[in-house]
Every structure is written in C-alpha cells, then in structure tokens.
A = this chain, B = another copy of it.
C-alpha cells in the first residue's frame, strides 16, 4: 500500500501497512498505531526469544523470516512455523501470563515491529474490527495447523514429503516453480518428524523420477507438480 499523504516516516510505519490484521484501518488509526510500535532487527541465527521466556509484546515480521520450534525429548528441533513478512506472533501473551511456547530464531536478517502487550490490548478494546481481523488470521493459522496435523498423520512418508513440497511451492515458489528453501534438509526432515537421511533418500528418488530437480542445497525446482499432487493422494 502506498502512502498518499505526506508520509515521511513511511519506513517506520511499514509494519502497519503490511499486516493483514491492520488492513481494515483508516489512515488516522494507522498513525496512532505506528506511534506504539518499536523496531528491532536481528541477524541470521539470532534467537528472538527462547521457549519459556516471558513475552510481553506482539511481534510482527516486517522483512525476512524466522523459524519457531520446540525441542523434542529426543533433542531434535520440531519446527512449528516459519514466519515471514506480515506474519505476527505473541498474541497469546495478550491476556494470559503465559511464557513462550517455542523458541524463535532468525533464518536470515529480519526486521520486526513490536507492540507492547498493554498497547495492543487497549488497541483491541478501542478497535473491535482489529480483533475480528486477528480472529480471522488465527483461524487461518489454525487451518494450516489442522492440515499439518493431518499430513503428519499420513502413514505414508512419500505423501508427507509431497505435501511439504507443495506447501513450500505455494509459499516460497516463484513462477518457474523454483523454491527457495527456508530451511536445511535437516529442517525439512524435522518438520515431518523423519530422519535427515530418509529425507535425503526420498528427495534423491524424486529427482531420479524427474519429479524435482535439486538445484542447490537451498533451492529445489519442481518439474512435475501433478505427480506430487498425485502422491499426496488428494486429487
């Protein structure tokens, strides 16, 4: 969204413009909110907060991406989310005194905007439509998690990998069906709860079958999307 009316500080309020939860706001409200926002940035590998930390702000990703994960009993990272531009989290800290459920780590350089718990709470009371936007966004997130849980419940590992690749294609793919992978092979394996080696083997298999082409460690090209869809069993 462009800034039509003398928005000198546009780079500072950019979070507000970008985020779906504020999409219904009028211009004056945008300024009001921008005043509440603090900005921070992190480098790749930096941890924004650890599981168990107290969170007292809602965090919105302005640019870049982060992963949110829990450590499983057997010491692996279980990735719950990859948050990118426009995503927000920490809303659970709103009313409850809960501590963070997961660790959040930057996957690349990220700029974030934070709004303190108190400010945000007041904001919601005065702008009921923001709440509705948030409910809508949380609903979407829940839907994605429901799909995730469904995928993880598929006993067939090949189908799960196909699902993951299609999900990535949608999120991170370009017009040539080249996916810039947000995480390593190990990260992908951890998202599905399988061994790193199994992921390797399965991807090699897909490459042999000309379904994908593994360009580099950080990107994959989808050659035969239909085959992947068929593998998931949903068609």
Contact = CB atoms under 8 A, between A and B. Distances in A.
B132 A78 contact: no
A153 interface: yes
The quantity of this chain's copies bound in the complex is 2
Interface string A176-198: 00000000000000111111000
A72 B195 contact: no
Contact of A136 (B73, B95, B125): B95
Interface in A140-156: 140-143, 145-150, 152-156
A147 B73 CA distance: 12
Interface string A133-174: 011101111110111111011111001000000000000000
Contacts of A136: 92, 94-96
B139 A92 contact: yes
24 contacts: A70-B146, A72-B153, A72-B154, A73-B234, A74-B154, A74-B156, A74-B159, A78-B153, A80-B146, A92-B136, A94-B135, A101-B143, A121-B132, A124-B131, A124-B135, A125-B132, A131-B132, A138-B142, A145-B149, A149-B149, A152-B193, A153-B190, A155-B193, A155-B194
